[in-house]
Amino acid sequence: MPEVHIIGAGETKFGELWDKSLRELAVEAGLKAIEDAGILSKDVGILYGSSSLAGTLNWQNDMGSLLADFSGIAASGIPAVRIESSTSSGASAVREAYLSIKSGEYEVAMVGGVEKMTDIYGSEIHDIVSTTLDREWEAFFGATAASMAAISARKYMKDFKVEKEALSMISVNDHANASLNPNAHYRNKITLDAAMNATLVAEPLNLMDCSPVSDGASALILASDKFAKSVGKDGIRIKGSAIAQDYLALHSRESIYTLKSTIQAARQAFEKSGTKASDISFAEIHDSYSIYGLMELEDLGFAPKGKAKDLVMENIGLNAPLPVNPSGGLKAKGNPMGATGVGQIVEGYLQIKGKAGERQIKNAHDGLFHSMSGSGSTSVVHIIGSE
Amino acid sequence: MPEVHIIGAGETKFGELWDKSLRELAVEAGLKAIEDAGILSKDVGILYGSSSLAGTLNWQNDMGSLLADFSGIAASGIPAVRIESSTSSGASAVREAYLSIKSGEYEVAMVGGVEKMTDIYGSEIHDIVSTTLDREWEAFFGATAASMAAISARKYMKDFKVEKEALSMISVNDHANASLNPNAHYRNKITLDAAMNATLVAEPLNLMDCSPVSDGASALILASDKFAKSVGKDGIRIKGSAIAQDYLALHSRESIYTLKSTIQAARQAFEKSGTKASDISFAEIHDSYSIYGLMELEDLGFAPKGKAKDLVMENIGLNAPLPVNPSGGLKAKGNPMGATGVGQIVEGYLQIKGKAGERQIKNAHDGLFHSMSGSGSTSVVHIIGSE
């Protein structure tokens, strides 16, 4: 089977982008990725578009066709498919692109993740985001993404005697890193005190524990080792790619603070890549809510269960043994759902190439990228490294 | 690379199914397919869920997770992804499942296509279906799926001097076949006179030219040749699978009655399968509107351009040289969008196995299955045959 390399990446700024439409954002990121790869758009074999809410919020389905159309690649007949898996849509699309190259049917696959979440009035966005929960058994009774995270947080904090401080440090770290990322939604640093005392959203989670409503797009170009070598871009390889599943509804899970899907996907990705947690030089994790950051560091294998607080309180900054979310993470870089999982790997590509500017990590080599849908129903883990 | 076989199929009735929810329909079809394959649900490596409108109409995104949850396969960690490509969602999901096996990462992949379109009041369904057009450049100005088809029909009929009769014969044939299919939405035969004189929808298309709003679900189990052989189910193989793209917006196409994406996908599928049009013993084509039936028979290679009327007026019934839509097609079997493309291949599987009951074609061997999104932006073609 062919190996799969990342040969180009592109991204828009994340934020409240009133002056750009859904399609404009996606095409901006896509063209940057094609330019970065130094290929022609007709070299692309297939396009995977990812967006979770376009059908619900923007009333635009068939996003794959839309992006192929507006970018002009439809002129060459290059096929397009939309992948939708809630907040893991982008990472799932990267995995489908990876499989498409592994299958031998395509040499080059493009992934374009996009979300335009601010084209809506006020609090309706929470109802729209809750379409990614179990609509009939969770959302219908008033549950939102934040309230599900809050339920997990309360039990986690009680069972493991974790103080709010540890949750807040996830967000403090995100904002510190995002202050160095020109594409981040929020570029302000926050103090631990500010993070702990922000307005409550769903106790114990406050505004500084919750990722924002963002617009943005991210794109990647994946290629077979043969193609990558032919264009002199075979430096960064997807060493492991895995996806696993848990129940959609939180109430069906074995534990509400252990992410079984994350444990399984991580184990598979480590196995496939021949790496272990201690080989990873940095990680981008899915902290849509700060509590998930702690749970994930444990379930990915970076800390024992209930002990991520020690890692987080000590150091997860750019100079730490394991820098976490150098991009600024979901909290501060932003969380345009369909773009989020693609954007994590864009960050990985930049870090490993040494092109991450002011937020560059020293000796970035193997990185781990974790994305999940909703409160952890699907987890996708990629391990990417320089050869 | 492994070859890909179809080892099981299942389907619900298509129709107005008031007493069954989105998830119930999907799981009913899925469990039938697993039972038919004679495997255990834990044998499934990955689930591809397809639904076009669930996020817009039912306010349920992350359909992959929902189906994995409600069917119980999430308990084993089996991953799930949702594929959305308008009315070709199901066929695109079959292709992704095919690629996942070709990649060597999975031995068994399940496809579950579903749509629950009748849970809405009155004519709003047309606005919802038009989310699969270009929302900003077509739907916003009042275009619907039917009106786009009507524009193509008018020009086609004028340029090729085709009478309404030829369009109506597509629907007459569909209803005749559906009368023999217990799972079809409409089981009544219609006369040519009735088909020609029904209430107008968008001139020249009337009610009998337009596929209905249906609920329903279809499922398939695909497996590698190795796995299929190990369970004694290696009889039906996907010989060719292809997907191609055209512009989403009709106004950007080179021609409004030539389906470039269909021509390209068909050419690729024939090439990959080593077959040609004359080798095909029956076809399921995407006649969401009768005019598309004519255009597709030409662009798939079964008739010269502008001449499908001759084929259709002569004979496309169950005893014809090329039986078309033995299932009853989109017009009469029904068109639950996310299930439609999967259902075509369920029909193919039944026909080739000789299990199609009263509508069984004699000597069914290689079948061609064509599905497309919207007015032809994406086309997916599969060629499936007995070994």
Alpha carbons within 13 angstroms on the beta-carbon side of residue A16 total 6
Alpha carbons within 13 angstroms on the beta-carbon side of residue A235 total 13
A33 pLDDT band, cuts 50/70/90, is very high
B122 pLDDT band, cuts 50/70/90, is confident
Closest residue on chain B to A132 (Cα): B61
pLDDT at site A1: 87
pLDDT at residue A387 greater than cutoff 80? no
Whether the CB-CB separation of B122 and B137 falls below 8 Å is answered with: no
pLDDT at site A275: 97
| Pairing mode, strands B378-386 and B236-245 | antiparallel
Nearest to A103 among B56, B62, B103 (CB): B103
- Interchain pair B74, A248: CB under 8 A: yes
pLDDT at residue B228 greater than cutoff 90? yes
Q: Which of B79, B106, B77, B74 is nearest to B1 (CA)?
A: B106
B1 pLDDT band, cuts 50/70/90, is confident
Q: How close, in Å, is residue A239 to chain B by CA atoms? A: 14
A120 pLDDT band, cuts 50/70/90, is confident
Q: Report CA dihedral (B34, A265, A310, A204) to the nearest 10 degrees.
A: -50
Q: Count helices and strands (H / E) in chain A.
A: 13, 11
A317 pLDDT band, cuts 50/70/90, is very high
| Pairing mode, strands B80-84 and B46-50 | parallel
pLDDT at site A191: 98
pLDDT at residue B202 greater than cutoff 80? yes
pLDDT at residue A122 greater than cutoff 80? no
How confident is the model over B44-69, as pLDDT tens digits? 999 999 999 999 999 999 999 999 99
Instruction: Collect all residues with Cβ–Cβ distance below 8 Å to A164 and sequence separation of at least 6.
Output: A157, A196, A204
How confident is the model over A56-91, as pLDDT tens digits? 999 999 999 999 999 989 999 999 999 999 999 999
- Interchain pair A244, B73: CB under 8 A: no
CB burial of residue B121 (10 Å; 0-12, 13-18, 19+):
exposed
pLDDT at residue B234 greater than cutoff 80? yes
Instruction: Collect all residues with Cβ–Cβ distance below 8 Å to B363 and sequence separation of at least 6.
Output: B281
Average pLDDT of B88-99?
98
How confident is the model over A34-45, as pLDDT tens digits? 999 999 999 999
Q: Which of A1, A61, A381 should be substituted to probe chain B, the one whose Cβ sees the most B Cβ atoms within 10 Å?
A: A61
Per-residue buried b or exposed e for B342-362, using 16+ beta carbons within 10 Å of the residue's own CB: bbbbbbbbbbbbeebeebebe
Average pLDDT of A320-335?
98
Q: Which of A297, A283, A324 is nearest to A175 (CA)?
A: A324
Q: Report CA dihedral (A76, A47, B104, B367) to the nearest 10 degrees.
A: -50
How confident is the model over B244-296, as pLDDT tens digits? 999 999 999 999 999 999 999 999 999 999 999 999 999 999 999 999 999 99
Tokens of A312: 């987080």
Q: Number of Cβ pairs closer than 8 Å across A and B?
A: 211
Whether the CB-CB separation of B374 and B384 falls below 8 Å is answered with: no
Closest residue on chain A to B66 (Cα): A248
CB burial of residue B276 (10 Å; 0-12, 13-18, 19+):
exposed
**CATH superfamily of the domain spanning B4-121+214-236:** Thiolase/Chalcone synthase (3.40.47.10)
Domains B4-121+214-236 and B142-210+239-386 share a fold: yes
Q: What are the residue ranges spanned by the domains of chain A? A: 4-121+214-237, 124-210+239-386
Q: Which of B334, B281, B337, B298 is nearest to B88 (CA)?
A: B337
**CATH superfamily of the domain spanning A124-210+239-386:** Thiolase/Chalcone synthase (3.40.47.10)
Mean pLDDT, chain B, integer: 96
Nearest to A246 among B61, B63, B74 (CB): B74
C-alpha to C-alpha distance for A182 and B81, rounded to whole angstroms? 32
Mean pLDDT, chain A, integer: 96
Which chain B residues contact residue A92 at CB under 8 A?
A: 81
- Interchain pair A100, B99: CB under 8 A: yes
B10 pLDDT band, cuts 50/70/90, is very high
Nearest to A84 among B59, B82, B96 (CB): B82
Percent of chain A with pLDDT over 70: 100
B121 pLDDT band, cuts 50/70/90, is confident
Which chain A residues contact residue B85 at CB under 8 A?
A: 62, 64-65, 80-82
Whether the CB-CB separation of B140 and A59 falls below 8 Å is answered with: no
Closest residue on chain B to A92 (Cα): B81
Q: Which of B45, B109, B103 is nearest to A102 (CA)?
A: B103
Cis peptide before A204 (omega within 30 of 0): yes
**CATH of B142-210+239-386 among 3.30.70.660, 3.40.47.10, 3.40.50.2300, 3.40.190.10:** 3.40.47.10
Let me know the angle formed at the C-alpha of B104 by A278 and B239, rounded to the nearest 5 degrees. 160
Average pLDDT of A240-264?
97
pLDDT at site B120: 87
CATH number of A4-121+214-237: 3.40.47.10
- Interchain pair A64, B52: CB under 8 A: no
Nearest to A78 among B55, B245, B377 (CB): B245
Instruction: Collect all residues with Cβ–Cβ distance below 8 Å to A229 and sequence separation of at least 6.
Output: none
C-alpha to C-alpha distance for A365 and B58, rounded to whole angstroms? 44
Closest residue on chain B to A100 (Cα): B99
Nearest to A245 among B53, B78, B378 (CB): B78
Average pLDDT of B343-363?
98
